[in-house]
């Protein structure tokens, strides 16, 4: 089974933690890593420099469609980043755990 990583940014720790808990509980993801970051971006004609939280969502290819749909539905941003990363290689024990955790 192929693994997939989705990354997305969030405005605060409460929103990412709430969403991550829901997705892990429903087994759409095996794990979500959360880290605080600084983001510089253009929004509505202005350069923004904001603190955000980055979520790294680890799942399998079979859960990808539902994960993206749920992230879109639950996300607090009007235009959420939902970026897909397809690892070309992942160690087999980790892939086994990831697959089992999302069944």
> Domain residue spans in the chain?
3-101
Which one, of 88, 81, 25, lies nearest residue 56 by Cα?
81
List C-alpha distances in Å: 18 to 58, 78, 97: 16, 18, 23
Per-residue pLDDT tens over the stretch 69-86: 999 999 999 999 999 998
Which one, of 27, 21, 24, lies nearest residue 62 by Cα?
27
Per-residue pLDDT tens over the stretch 27-55: 999 999 999 999 999 989 999 999 999 99
- Contact between 2 and 86 under an 8 Å Cβ cutoff? The reply is yes
**pTM over the 0.85 mark:** yes
Architecture of domain 3-101: 2-Layer Sandwich (3.30)
């Amino acid at each position: 089974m192929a693994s997939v990583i989705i990354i997305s940014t969030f405005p605060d720790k409460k929103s990412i933690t709430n969403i991550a808990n829901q997705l892990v509980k429903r087994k759409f993801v095996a794990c979500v890593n959360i880290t605080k970051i600084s983001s510089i971006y253009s929004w509505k004609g202005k350069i923004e420099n904001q603190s955000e939280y980055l979520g790294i969502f680890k799942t399998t290819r079979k859960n990808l469609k539902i994960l993206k749909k749920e992230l879109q539905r639950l996300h607090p941003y009007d235009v959420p980043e939902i970026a897909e990363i397809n690892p070309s290689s992942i160690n087999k024990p980790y892939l086994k755990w990831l697959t089992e955790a999302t069944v």
